[in-house]
Structure 1
Protein backbone atom coordinates (compact mmCIF):
# COMPACT_ATOMS: atom_id res chain seq x y z
CA UNK A 1 0.00 0.00 0.00
CA UNK A 2 1.13 3.54 -0.66
CA UNK A 3 2.78 5.27 2.31
CA UNK A 4 1.86 8.84 1.43
CA UNK A 5 -1.24 10.64 0.27
CA UNK A 6 -1.79 11.68 -2.41
CA UNK A 7 0.27 9.19 -4.31
CA UNK A 8 0.81 8.53 -7.99
CA UNK A 9 1.29 5.17 -9.63
CA UNK A 10 3.12 4.71 -12.91
CA UNK A 11 2.21 1.98 -15.40
CA UNK A 12 5.83 0.82 -15.23
CA UNK A 13 5.50 0.19 -11.46
CA UNK A 14 2.74 -2.40 -11.89
CA UNK A 15 3.41 -5.87 -13.33
CA UNK A 16 1.30 -6.95 -16.29
CA UNK A 17 -1.42 -9.49 -15.58
CA UNK A 18 -1.72 -11.58 -18.77
CA UNK A 19 -3.67 -14.51 -17.35
CA UNK A 20 -6.99 -13.48 -18.97
CA UNK A 21 -5.21 -12.09 -22.05
CA UNK A 22 -3.66 -8.82 -23.13
CA UNK A 23 -1.72 -6.62 -20.73
CA UNK A 24 -3.87 -5.62 -17.76
CA UNK A 25 -2.39 -3.34 -15.12
CA UNK A 26 -4.37 -2.20 -12.08
CA UNK A 27 -2.95 1.16 -11.07
CA UNK A 28 -5.25 2.51 -8.38
CA UNK A 29 -6.64 -0.13 -6.02
CA UNK A 30 -7.04 -1.02 -2.35
CA UNK A 31 -3.51 -2.45 -2.46
CA UNK A 32 -1.76 0.42 -4.26
CA UNK A 33 -3.48 3.52 -2.84
CA UNK A 34 -5.93 2.21 -0.21
CA UNK A 35 -8.92 2.78 -2.50
CA UNK A 36 -12.22 1.76 -0.90
CA UNK A 37 -14.84 2.11 -3.65
CA UNK A 38 -13.28 0.54 -6.76
CA UNK A 39 -10.15 0.19 -8.85
CA UNK A 40 -8.75 1.69 -12.06
CA UNK A 41 -6.17 0.57 -14.57
CA UNK A 42 -5.09 0.29 -18.18
CA UNK A 43 -5.61 -2.45 -20.73
CA UNK A 44 -3.23 -2.80 -23.67
CA UNK A 45 -4.05 -5.21 -26.49
CA UNK A 46 -1.71 -5.85 -29.41
CA UNK A 47 -3.25 -6.81 -32.74
CA UNK A 48 -4.98 -10.19 -32.35
CA UNK A 49 -4.95 -10.19 -28.53
CA UNK A 50 -8.07 -10.48 -26.41
CA UNK A 51 -9.29 -10.61 -22.84
CA UNK A 52 -11.30 -13.80 -22.26
CA UNK A 53 -15.01 -13.51 -21.61
CA UNK A 54 -15.96 -12.95 -17.98
CA UNK A 55 -18.37 -11.00 -15.80
CA UNK A 56 -18.26 -9.08 -12.53
CA UNK A 57 -20.99 -10.11 -10.07
CA UNK A 58 -20.53 -7.02 -7.87
CA UNK A 59 -19.08 -4.30 -10.10
CA UNK A 60 -19.94 -2.31 -13.17
CA UNK A 61 -17.05 -1.64 -15.54
CA UNK A 62 -16.37 1.65 -17.27
CA UNK A 63 -14.08 1.46 -20.32
CA UNK A 64 -12.59 4.45 -22.14
CA UNK A 65 -10.57 3.77 -25.30
CA UNK A 66 -7.56 6.07 -25.55
CA UNK A 67 -6.06 4.57 -28.71
CA UNK A 68 -7.07 2.01 -31.35
CA UNK A 69 -10.34 0.22 -32.02
CA UNK A 70 -11.63 -2.19 -29.38
CA UNK A 71 -14.19 -4.84 -30.26
CA UNK A 72 -16.21 -5.46 -27.13
CA UNK A 73 -18.65 -8.35 -27.09
CA UNK A 74 -21.28 -7.72 -24.43
CA UNK A 75 -23.78 -10.53 -23.77
CA UNK A 76 -23.06 -11.91 -27.26
CA UNK A 77 -23.40 -8.59 -29.11
CA UNK A 78 -20.21 -7.15 -30.66
CA UNK A 79 -19.70 -3.39 -30.69
CA UNK A 80 -16.71 -1.34 -31.76
CA UNK A 81 -15.41 1.26 -29.37
CA UNK A 82 -12.93 3.69 -30.89
CA UNK A 83 -10.51 6.25 -29.52
CA UNK A 84 -12.22 8.89 -27.37
CA UNK A 85 -15.29 6.69 -26.83
CA UNK A 86 -16.50 5.10 -23.62
CA UNK A 87 -18.80 2.22 -22.74
CA UNK A 88 -20.40 0.89 -19.56
CA UNK A 89 -20.61 -2.85 -18.85
CA UNK A 90 -23.35 -3.39 -16.23
CA UNK A 91 -22.99 -5.64 -13.19
CA UNK A 92 -23.30 -9.34 -14.04
CA UNK A 93 -23.05 -8.93 -17.82
CA UNK A 94 -20.67 -11.20 -19.78
CA UNK A 95 -18.08 -9.34 -21.85
CA UNK A 96 -14.95 -9.99 -23.93
CA UNK A 97 -12.48 -7.45 -25.32
CA UNK A 98 -10.59 -7.99 -28.60
CA UNK A 99 -8.22 -6.13 -30.86
CA UNK A 100 -9.23 -7.16 -34.38
CA UNK A 101 -7.33 -4.28 -36.00
CA UNK A 102 -3.71 -3.54 -36.81
CA UNK A 103 -3.12 -0.78 -34.23
CA UNK A 104 -2.48 -1.35 -30.52
CA UNK A 105 -5.51 -0.71 -28.31
CA UNK A 106 -5.08 1.18 -25.06
CA UNK A 107 -8.11 1.54 -22.80
CA UNK A 108 -8.59 2.85 -19.29
CA UNK A 109 -10.97 0.87 -17.08
CA UNK A 110 -12.63 1.47 -13.73
CA UNK A 111 -14.68 -1.01 -11.72
CA UNK A 112 -16.83 -0.33 -8.72
CA UNK A 113 -18.05 -1.08 -6.19
CA UNK A 114 -15.53 -3.62 -4.97
CA UNK A 115 -16.52 -7.24 -4.48
CA UNK A 116 -16.64 -8.46 -0.85
CA UNK A 117 -13.32 -10.23 -1.49
CA UNK A 118 -10.97 -10.15 -4.51
CA UNK A 119 -11.54 -13.76 -5.58
CA UNK A 120 -15.26 -12.98 -6.00
CA UNK A 121 -14.63 -10.07 -8.37
CA UNK A 122 -14.40 -11.99 -11.68
CA UNK A 123 -16.18 -15.04 -13.03
CA UNK A 124 -14.50 -16.49 -16.14
CA UNK A 125 -16.88 -17.89 -18.76
CA UNK A 126 -14.38 -19.10 -21.37
CA UNK A 127 -11.00 -20.79 -21.32
CA UNK A 128 -8.21 -18.40 -20.36
CA UNK A 129 -5.39 -17.80 -22.87
CA UNK A 130 -2.70 -18.07 -20.16
CA UNK A 131 -4.26 -20.12 -17.33
CA UNK A 132 -0.94 -21.20 -15.84
CA UNK A 133 0.35 -17.68 -15.38
CA UNK A 134 0.42 -16.36 -11.83
CA UNK A 135 -2.75 -14.45 -11.15
CA UNK A 136 -2.42 -10.90 -9.97
CA UNK A 137 -5.59 -10.42 -7.96
CA UNK A 138 -7.35 -7.40 -9.38
CA UNK A 139 -8.50 -4.94 -6.75
CA UNK A 140 -6.87 -6.94 -3.95
CA UNK A 141 -7.58 -5.38 -0.56
CA UNK A 142 -4.48 -6.91 1.06
Structure 2
Protein backbone atom coordinates (compact mmCIF):
# COMPACT_ATOMS: atom_id res chain seq x y z
CA UNK A 1 0.00 0.00 0.00
CA UNK A 2 1.30 3.45 -0.94
CA UNK A 3 1.14 6.45 1.41
CA UNK A 4 2.28 9.92 0.37
CA UNK A 5 3.77 12.51 2.73
CA UNK A 6 1.13 14.97 1.51
CA UNK A 7 -1.68 12.55 2.50
CA UNK A 8 -0.69 12.66 6.18
CA UNK A 9 -1.49 15.54 8.53
CA UNK A 10 1.57 17.00 10.28
CA UNK A 11 1.80 16.36 13.99
CA UNK A 12 3.42 19.27 15.83
CA UNK A 13 2.50 18.34 19.41
CA UNK A 14 6.08 17.35 20.29
CA UNK A 15 7.82 19.82 17.95
CA UNK A 16 8.80 19.86 14.31
CA UNK A 17 6.66 18.33 11.58
CA UNK A 18 6.24 14.62 12.32
CA UNK A 19 4.33 12.51 9.80
CA UNK A 20 3.72 8.83 10.46
CA UNK A 21 3.24 7.35 7.00
CA UNK A 22 3.34 3.60 7.57
CA UNK A 23 1.56 2.34 10.67
CA UNK A 24 -1.16 -0.02 11.87
CA UNK A 25 -3.67 2.78 11.20
CA UNK A 26 -2.48 3.68 7.68
CA UNK A 27 -1.35 0.34 6.20
CA UNK A 28 -2.25 -2.23 8.88
CA UNK A 29 1.43 -2.90 9.70
CA UNK A 30 2.02 -5.40 12.49
CA UNK A 31 5.74 -5.10 13.30
CA UNK A 32 6.38 -1.36 13.59
CA UNK A 33 5.74 2.10 12.15
CA UNK A 34 7.69 4.82 10.40
CA UNK A 35 7.60 8.17 8.74
CA UNK A 36 9.35 11.47 8.17
CA UNK A 37 10.44 14.29 10.44
CA UNK A 38 11.06 17.84 9.18
CA UNK A 39 12.81 20.28 11.51
CA UNK A 40 13.28 23.93 10.66
CA UNK A 41 16.34 25.72 12.10
CA UNK A 42 15.98 25.89 15.87
CA UNK A 43 13.15 23.34 16.04
CA UNK A 44 13.30 20.16 18.09
CA UNK A 45 11.25 17.13 19.05
CA UNK A 46 10.73 17.00 22.83
CA UNK A 47 12.50 14.36 24.86
CA UNK A 48 10.66 11.05 25.14
CA UNK A 49 11.08 7.28 25.49
CA UNK A 50 9.73 4.24 23.66
CA UNK A 51 9.38 1.50 26.30
CA UNK A 52 8.84 -1.30 23.75
CA UNK A 53 10.55 -0.13 20.56
CA UNK A 54 13.94 0.64 19.09
CA UNK A 55 14.04 3.74 16.90
CA UNK A 56 16.04 3.75 13.69
CA UNK A 57 16.77 7.35 12.65
CA UNK A 58 18.24 8.33 9.24
CA UNK A 59 18.99 11.89 8.09
CA UNK A 60 18.07 12.60 4.47
CA UNK A 61 19.03 16.29 4.36
CA UNK A 62 20.30 18.96 6.71
CA UNK A 63 21.79 18.24 10.14
CA UNK A 64 20.16 16.80 13.25
CA UNK A 65 21.62 16.56 16.73
CA UNK A 66 20.26 13.57 18.60
CA UNK A 67 20.52 13.61 22.38
CA UNK A 68 20.41 9.97 23.46
CA UNK A 69 20.44 9.77 27.25
CA UNK A 70 23.23 12.26 27.97
CA UNK A 71 25.21 11.71 24.76
CA UNK A 72 25.00 13.94 21.69
CA UNK A 73 25.18 12.42 18.22
CA UNK A 74 25.62 14.81 15.27
CA UNK A 75 24.06 13.45 12.08
CA UNK A 76 24.25 14.72 8.52
CA UNK A 77 22.86 13.47 5.21
CA UNK A 78 23.31 9.74 4.77
CA UNK A 79 24.00 9.12 8.47
CA UNK A 80 21.89 7.13 10.90
CA UNK A 81 21.69 6.16 14.54
CA UNK A 82 19.83 3.71 16.72
CA UNK A 83 17.93 4.71 19.84
CA UNK A 84 17.66 1.63 22.08
CA UNK A 85 14.44 0.56 23.80
CA UNK A 86 13.49 2.64 26.84
CA UNK A 87 16.22 5.29 26.36
CA UNK A 88 15.46 9.04 26.61
CA UNK A 89 16.08 10.91 23.36
CA UNK A 90 15.47 14.25 21.66
CA UNK A 91 16.06 15.46 18.08
CA UNK A 92 17.26 19.03 17.45
CA UNK A 93 18.10 21.14 14.41
CA UNK A 94 20.89 23.43 15.56
CA UNK A 95 21.86 24.42 12.02
CA UNK A 96 20.72 27.24 9.72
CA UNK A 97 19.11 24.88 7.17
CA UNK A 98 15.96 22.73 7.33
CA UNK A 99 16.52 19.04 8.08
CA UNK A 100 14.57 15.96 7.04
CA UNK A 101 14.90 12.51 8.58
CA UNK A 102 13.24 9.14 8.25
CA UNK A 103 12.36 7.14 11.35
CA UNK A 104 11.18 3.61 11.99
CA UNK A 105 10.18 2.06 15.31
CA UNK A 106 9.74 -1.61 16.08
CA UNK A 107 8.42 -3.73 17.52
CA UNK A 108 5.06 -2.18 18.29
CA UNK A 109 3.97 -1.66 21.89
CA UNK A 110 1.19 -3.97 23.09
CA UNK A 111 -1.22 -1.00 23.02
CA UNK A 112 -0.78 2.36 21.23
CA UNK A 113 -0.89 4.43 24.43
CA UNK A 114 2.09 2.45 25.80
CA UNK A 115 4.37 3.16 22.85
CA UNK A 116 5.55 6.66 23.72
CA UNK A 117 6.22 8.38 27.05
CA UNK A 118 6.86 12.13 27.00
CA UNK A 119 9.50 13.39 29.44
CA UNK A 120 9.36 16.98 28.10
CA UNK A 121 6.50 19.07 26.68
CA UNK A 122 6.23 22.09 24.43
CA UNK A 123 4.78 25.02 26.39
CA UNK A 124 1.01 25.13 26.08
CA UNK A 125 0.71 21.66 24.56
CA UNK A 126 0.92 19.57 27.74
CA UNK A 127 -2.77 18.66 27.61
CA UNK A 128 -3.09 17.93 23.90
CA UNK A 129 -3.89 14.29 23.17
CA UNK A 130 -0.96 12.21 21.99
CA UNK A 131 -1.14 10.93 18.42
CA UNK A 132 -2.04 7.26 18.06
CA UNK A 133 -0.30 5.15 15.45
CA UNK A 134 -1.91 1.87 16.52
CA UNK A 135 -5.12 0.19 15.54
CA UNK A 136 -8.62 1.26 16.39
CA UNK A 137 -9.68 0.99 20.03
Residues 1:23 and 2:9 aligned together: no
| Runs of 4+ that moved beyond 2 A | 127-136
CA distance in 1, matches of 2:82, 2:135: 24
For residues 26-105 of structure 1, the aligned pairs below 5 Å read 26-105=20-99
Per-residue Cα deviation, 1:57-110 (whole angstroms, up to 9, x for no partner)? 000000000000100000011110111001000000100000000111100000
Identify unmatched segments of 5+ residues in structure 2: none
| Gaps in structure 1 of 5+ consecutive residues | 1-6
RMSD: 1.2
Measure, in 2, the Cα distance between the counterparts of 1:14 and 1:123.
22
> Separation in 2 of the partners of 1:50 and 1:106?
12
Q: Secondary structure at the match of 1:32?
A: helix
TM alignment of 1:110-121, pairs within 5 A:
110-121=104-115
- Counting matched residue pairs gives 135
